[in-house]
Structure 1
Amino acid sequence: MLQEQEIRRRLSSVQLAVGQAAQALSAERNLPGELRDYIQRLDRQSDSIVEVLALRDPTRIVKLIDDMEVLGARARRVCASGLPLTPQMKAAVNHMHNELADFKSHLH
């Protein structure tokens, strides 16, 4: 398991990446509902990071990141499906998923 300081740093990076994807989402006009739903769910889960950290429960941190990574992977697949999305949207989703996948790999 990672040290608490490293977990906090990575969670902060995840929150930032999710926030950037949520901002890109608000700038998009014709987003598929599926992608919008994944990013909104990730944004809500990102809001719970502070609460999960306060509990200092490694199991809940791992579960939260696992769940978020699954949603991030789904959002990434939608972006890669050939839909006409802006480069900013695709980049934000890819960055978000990469942050989540990297964090997940270090937690397991």
Structure 2
Amino acid sequence: MIRNVTLIEFKPDTPVEHLDAITEAMHKVRSPGLRSLTMGRDLGLREGNLQYAVVADFDDEQGYRAFVEDPEHQRIAREMTMPAYIRYQRVQFEISATDSVRDLPG
């Protein structure tokens, strides 16, 4: 599996409602190979955090690329995300079923 993590810094005047609309729109995207999509606004628990995070898991590289190229995903990025963001950072890495959930000693 491939996990993609994207962190986004939005312009300071971006309304919270706009970020919520991005979340709602993205949750409607269906793409082959997409296993899970988790996203949301930062809680502000630490100074310097970016405002928004996206974590998506894919079956494989083909699933990741299908999502990136998905027309609805591209539309949301072009019409909603890109006009409002300052910068973003992404990383993709491989995970296994045992990597995704770990029981930590209590």
Structure with the higher fraction of residues in strand conformation: 2
Higher relative contact order (CA 8 A, sep 6+): 2
Structure with the higher fraction of residues in helix conformation: 1
Who wins on radius of gyration, i.e. which is larger? 2
Task: Provide the TM-score with structure 1 as the length reference.
Answer: 0.37
Task: Provide the TM-score with structure 2 as the length reference.
Answer: 0.38
